[in-house]
Structure 1
Amino acid sequence: MKVLHVLYSRIYTGAEKVAAQIIKAFEGRVDMAYCSLECEEVWDILDGMGIRHYGVEELTPATLGRVIREYRPDVIHAHDMRTSFVAALCCGRIPLISHIHNNAYDARGLSAKSVAYLLAGFRAKHIFWVSNSAYEGYVFHRLFAKKSSVLYNIIDAKRIFAMRDSDEHTYDFDMIYLGRLTYQKDPQRLMRLSAALKARKPDIKVAVVGAGELEGEAKALCEELGLQDNVHFLGFQSNPIKMVADSKAMILTSRWEGTPMCALEAMALGTPVVSTPSDGMKDLIENGVDGYLSDEDAVLAEDILKIVEDPDHRELLSENAAKKFARINDEQKYNDTILACYRQWGGTQ
């Protein structure tokens, strides 16, 4: 069996990590390939993982069609709504699996995106949703109830620990942000929160790992708030895992989420997560037990300071986070679910 994973991106973060992880999980059992927009940084990561990849300058029915004709997949696994729409236009008789990784704000009501995804939803043989909120958030979700299931993200824990151990550097950050700098992630709020923390702890050190269309705006606000000595913009990092492990806390300021891979990575490493209560995070974090959730910046700042300034409290949260991760991260069940879907629609070869 051959499966083509398709993504509409030039980055390597949440959905991209999920696709690569699935490919690696079935290495030697199912032939899989990765297709996305051209990006040398992503290709370097995939080459290091031994993953076959196809790049296109723009993802259109014509460009994806050429990849499909070359690779000849038995199943197309399209990640997120826009990709699923393009795949639906050119998949022909090839079974389409759609995988939705977040509760997209612009598909919760009548919009071009929600209407366009109707085509993908009708063409798809099955739809995986990363959380109940992602499924219920889509305005037309009831139309696809019989072909939908919730599949919470997991991570390859052994690989995460190996990535941590391969980095011999020591990092000294109080707080780390790991992700794209986009509207969804609200990096401006991250800057305002950092300013509130600096007012209480003048030497607070914050790592911002990632890039995106709001990077310039975030940096400008950082300078305006006088945070140049506190906030360190590190850009895209191919292996930020040791930074996460060495940080006292991870922060998420997202407007909406699915089940963030970075939060799972932090929990595996015992790094407490402090987050806005966005969608999948409410399923992942138990407030005050293994991390913190709040939609108030003052409360978020207070919670972060508890972690940063109280080693015993930090250790308790760390232990609880690691225990929860071990309980919820069922790699075998996840992989069995994916494989059963592939076999149902693509055959058993």
Structure 2
Amino acid sequence: MRVLIVSSTTQTSKTGVTAHYNRLLDQLEGRVESVQLITPADTPFLPKKIIGLLRKLAALFGQNGRVLWFELENFMSVWVSVRAKGADAFDLVHAQDATAGAGASLGLAKRVPVVMTCHFNDDPLTEYKLGFQLSDWTHKRLATWYRYVFNHNDSFITVSDYIKRTSAFLRPQGAVCEVIHNGVVFPTEQPRHESDDFIIISVGTLEERKNQRLLIEVADELRSRGLTRFRVWLLGEGPKRREWEQLVHEKNLQDYVHFLGFQTNVPDYLRKASLYVHTALNESWGYSITEAIASGTPVLALATGGIPEQFNRTGPGLLPVSITAAEMADVILNYQDARTRAVLAEEQLAFARNRFNLDVMIDKHLAFYTETIMGRQPLRNTLNPVVEL
């Protein structure tokens, strides 16, 4: 099997999408005949120059122009790069977004089936609506665009049942959609390196949706209750870092809250932590939660999006989305005792080990690839109605 992975996100981007397809590249090597990656970074020189000039023209139309051009640019970049390879070079395309998938499909003259993984947190239209102040006209154009590109992807993978439900309106009628949960390596042993301090860790982009501000407020609450030997480690970069660093300074929490930036060796930090706390207000899955569980670190997380699918039915570790800083501090204080944390970690690990194992994830991908190649893809010309926002 010759697999081509395509994405609008380049390998230099520090995102979950990049981490996901890098894992696929690594794990598929040796298990398929060949696996290649194409992103906009692979665009040939002359088309890249032309696209760059058009990008400057699109910027004249402000944010609306930049957003619409961003989609079209990624489509054209993948289309021209894939077209140079030719359809005979591949048996299957695995797209990491709908735009790249459509570009690859058309670049290969619709001769190669395309599987697309849905990485968004609800659906791409909602993410644009929440992330940008765009005109109604632009939202309608985006709805039309996503109807078009989704219909040029043959079958779909979602990382959670939650995303399978929320993105259903964009998929072509009758399209095959498989839920394949993210997977990580679960070590046979769980070497822990906890310090004497009580360390609370959280991993993710520093942004409004990830909601790390709540942990800063929790730190303030813990200190006010007399707890002094604790630290909060925030791993990641993002648009809110400067604002939240200022908040830490204003609350005089510099000794307690530490911004550690983007780290490539996240499991090393997780094994040193006492407790992992995930504060995201919405999440398609929450890969760092899975990493924490695999590292033997007990997890507390808001019960939102696809996150509850990582916990058993009794939900030990799940917290209400409406939780306040004071209420979260109460919960965290219950886990000061190492034995209590160990019980939670063991229960979460027992549930996750065989469900969210990396080998299981890769095996399911390979099976789905084979099914798609064998003809499970739906008719391409079955269109969805235009979504009005």
Give SS of 1:211's match: coil
Deviations 1:179-213 (A, max 9, x none): 11123212333322332233232443011111122
Deviates more, 1:281-290 or 1:256-265: 281-290
Secondary structure of 1:174's counterpart equals: strand
- Unaligned 5+ runs, structure 2: 42-50, 53-69, 130-135, 376-389
Q: Is the radius of gyration larger for structure 1 or structure 2?
A: 2
Amino acid at match of 1:8: T
Q: Does 1:78 align with 2:89?
A: no
**1:114-139 CA distance string (max 9 Å, x none):** 54322222111111111121121236
Report deviation, 1:248.
0.8
Contact kept? 2:8, 2:39, Cα under 8 Å: yes
Pairwise CA RMSD of aligned residues?
Answer: 3.4
Classify the secondary structure of the residue corresponding to 2:217.
helix
Aligned match for 1:227, one of 228, 239, 253? 253
Residue 261 of structure 1: how far off its partner (Å) = 1.4
Give yes or no for the alignment of 1:253 onto 2:279. Answer: yes
When residues 196 and 173 of structure 1 are mapped into structure 2, their CA distance, relative to the original with a 3 A threshold, is same
State which drifts further: 251-260 or 278-287: 278-287
What is aligned with 2:113?
95
Q: Which runs of 5+ in 1 are unaligned?
A: 39-55
- Looking at structure 1, the residues matched to 364 and 310 of structure 2 have their Cα atoms a distance apart, in angstroms, of 20
Report the counterpart of residue 28 of structure 1 in structure 2: 30
Contact map agreement 1:102 1:256 (CA 8 A) in 2: no
Change (3 A) 1:70 1:83: closer
Q: TM-score, normalised by structure 1?
A: 0.80
CA displacement at 1:243 relative to structure 2:
0.8
Whether the aligned pair in 1 keeps the contact of 2:311 and 2:352 (CA below 8 Å) is: no
> What is the deviation of 1:156?
2.9
Shift of 1:265: 0.8
Structure 2 partner of 1:123: 152
Moved more, 291-300 or 59-68: 59-68
Query: 1:85·1:116 contact (CA, 8 Å) conserved in 2?
Result: no
Q: In structure 1, what is the equivalent of residue 348 of structure 2?
A: 321
Sort the Cα spacing of 1:147 and 1:236 in 2 relative to 1 into closer, same or farther, 3 A: same
Q: Please give the secondary structure, in 2, of the residue aligned with 1:146.
A: coil
Find the counterpart in structure 2 of residue 216 from structure 1: 242
What do residues 305-339 of structure 1 show as CA deviations (whole Å, max 9, x unaligned)?
Answer: 222x1111111111112211223224444323312
Count of residues in Structure 1 that have an aligned counterpart in Structure 2: 326
- The one-letter code matched in structure 1 to 2:162 is S
Q: 2:82 aligns with which of 54, 59, 68?
A: 68
SS of equivalent to 2:259: strand
Contact in 2 for aligned 1:107/1:137 (Cα 8 Å) = no
User: What residue identity is the alignment partner of 2:35?
Assistant: M
Match of 2:215 among 169, 181, 190: 190
Deviation at 1:230, TM superposition (A): 1.0
| Cα distance change, pair 157–18 in 1 and its aligned pair in 2 (3 A) | farther
CA-CA distance at 1:283 after TM superposition: 1.6
Rounded to whole Å, the distance in 2 between the matches of 1:287 and 1:342 is 31
1:97, distance to aligned residue in structure 2 (A): 1.7
User: Is the alpha carbon distance of 1:82 and 1:148 closer, same or farther for their aligned partners in structure 2, counting shifts above 3 Å?
Assistant: same
Equivalent residue number for residue 382 of structure 2: none
Q: Aligned residue for 2:378?
A: none
In structure 1, distance between residues paired with 2:123 and 2:281: 9
Instruction: Name the residue aligned to 2:13.
Output: 11
Structure 1 residue 260 displacement after superposition: 1.5
Deviation at 1:170, TM superposition (A): 6.8
